[in-house]
A and B are shown apart, each in its own frame.
Chain A
Amino acid sequence: METIQNLFTDPAIYRLLTIVILSIFLGIEVIGRVPSVLHTPLMSGANAIHGVVIIGAIIVMGQARADDYLALTLGFWAVILGTLNVVGGFVVTDRMLEMFSKKKAKK
Chain B
Amino acid sequence: MEQTILQLSYLIGSITFILGLKMLSHPDSARRGNLVAATGMGIAIFATIFLYKDHEGNPLGNYPWIFAALIIGSVVGTLAAKRVQMTAMPEMVSLFNGMGGACAMLISLIEYHHNPTPSTGILLVIVLGMIIGTVSFAGSIIAWGKLNGKIKDKSISGAQVINFILWAALLSLSVMLIGGYTTESWVFYTILILAAVYGVLFVMPIGGADMPVVISLLNSFTGVAAAFGGFLYNNPVMLTGGILVGSAGTILTMLMCKAMNRSLKNVLIGSFGAAKVGVAGVVKEQGNYKEISLNDTATLMAYAQKVCIIPGYGLAVAQAQHACHELEKLLEEKGVEVTYGIHPVAGRMPGHMNVLLAEADVPYEKLLEMEDANDQMSSTNVVLILGANDVVNPAAKEDPSSPIYGMPILEVQKADHVIVNKRSMKPGYAGIENELFFKPKTSMLFGDAKKVLQDLVSELKQV
Question: B-contacting residues of A (Cβ < 8 Å)?
Answer: 2-3, 6, 12-13, 16, 19-20, 23-28, 30-64, 66, 70-72, 74-104, 106-107
Contact between A37 and B96 (Cβ–Cβ < 8 Å)?
A: no
Contact between A20 and B37 (Cβ–Cβ < 8 Å)?
A: no
B70 in the interface, Cβ–Cβ < 8 Å?
A: yes
Question: A37-B354, A50-B241, A78-B107 in contact; A101/B31 too (CB < 8 A)?
Answer: yes
B454 in the interface, Cβ–Cβ < 8 Å?
A: no
Contact between B248 and A27 (Cβ–Cβ < 8 Å)?
A: yes
- A89 CA to B101 CA in the complex, in Å? 13
CB contact list, B183-240 vs A, under 8 A: 212, 215-216, 219-220, 222-223, 225-227, 229-240
B89 in the interface, Cβ–Cβ < 8 Å?
A: yes
CB-CB under 8 A from B69, the residues of chain A are 61, 76-77, 79-80, 83
**Which of B113-121, B261-269, B328-336 touches A?**
B113-121
**Which of B14-22, B281-289, B302-310 touches A?**
B14-22
B430 in the interface, Cβ–Cβ < 8 Å?
A: no
Pair count A-B, CB < 8 A: 390
CB contact list, B232-263 vs A, under 8 A: 232-252, 255-256, 259
Contact between A3 and B44 (Cβ–Cβ < 8 Å)?
A: no
CB-CB under 8 A from B84, the residues of chain A are 92
Question: A74-B109, A90-B34, A91-B77 in contact; A50/B351 too (CB < 8 A)?
Answer: no
Q: Which residue of B lies closest to A51 (CB)?
A: B100
Show 17 A/B contacts (Cβ-Cβ < 8 Å), sorted by A.
A16-B230, A19-B236, A24-B247, A30-B22, A31-B25, A36-B351, A39-B259, A41-B351, A47-B222, A50-B97, A52-B44, A55-B229, A59-B60, A66-B62, A85-B100, A92-B93, A94-B38
- Which of the four size classes fits the interface of chain B? 35 or more
Q: Which residue of A lies closest to B94 (CB)?
A: A47
Contact between A49 and B25 (Cβ–Cβ < 8 Å)?
A: no
Q: Which residue of A lies closest to B243 (CB)?
A: A23
Determine how close the nearest CB of chain A comes to the CB of B150; give it in whole angstroms: 19
Q: Which residue of B lies closest to A24 (CB)?
A: B247
- A37 CA to B340 CA in the complex, in Å? 14
CB contact list, B299-355 vs A, under 8 A: 344-345, 349-352, 354-355
- A3 CA to B309 CA in the complex, in Å? 61
Provide the main secondary structure of the chain A interface.
helix
Q: Which residue of A lies closest to B81 (CB)?
A: A91
Question: A24-B247, A99-B358, A104-B364 in contact; A43/B252 too (CB < 8 A)?
Answer: yes
- A106 CA to B365 CA in the complex, in Å? 11
- A91 CA to B78 CA in the complex, in Å? 6
Contact between B35 and A20 (Cβ–Cβ < 8 Å)?
A: no
Q: Which residue of B lies closest to A64 (CB)?
A: B62
- A44 CA to B17 CA in the complex, in Å? 13
CB-CB under 8 A from B24, the residues of chain A are 34, 38, 41-42, 45-46, 93
Q: Which residue of A lies closest to B256 (CB)?
A: A39
B54 in the interface, Cβ–Cβ < 8 Å?
A: yes
A92's partner among B76, B89, B226, B243 (CB-CB below 8 A) is B89
A47's partner among B18, B97, B365 (CB-CB below 8 A) is B97
Contact between A3 and B121 (Cβ–Cβ < 8 Å)?
A: yes
B 25-52 to A, binary, CB cutoff 8 A, 1 in contact else 0: 1111011011101100100110011001
CB-CB under 8 A from B30, the residues of chain A are 38, 41-42, 45, 97, 100
B1 in the interface, Cβ–Cβ < 8 Å?
A: no
A27's partner among B21, B27, B70, B109 (CB-CB below 8 A) is B21
- A39 CA to B230 CA in the complex, in Å? 27
Contact between B359 and A99 (Cβ–Cβ < 8 Å)?
A: yes
Contact between A53 and B225 (Cβ–Cβ < 8 Å)?
A: yes
Contact between A85 and B81 (Cβ–Cβ < 8 Å)?
A: no
CB-CB under 8 A from B240, the residues of chain A are 19, 23
Contact between A74 and B110 (Cβ–Cβ < 8 Å)?
A: yes
Interface centre among A3, A13, A77, A82 (most CB of B within 10 A): A82
Contact between A43 and B120 (Cβ–Cβ < 8 Å)?
A: no
Contact between B65 and A86 (Cβ–Cβ < 8 Å)?
A: no
Q: Which residue of A lies closest to B52 (CB)?
A: A59
Contact between A20 and B259 (Cβ–Cβ < 8 Å)?
A: no
B99 in the interface, Cβ–Cβ < 8 Å?
A: yes
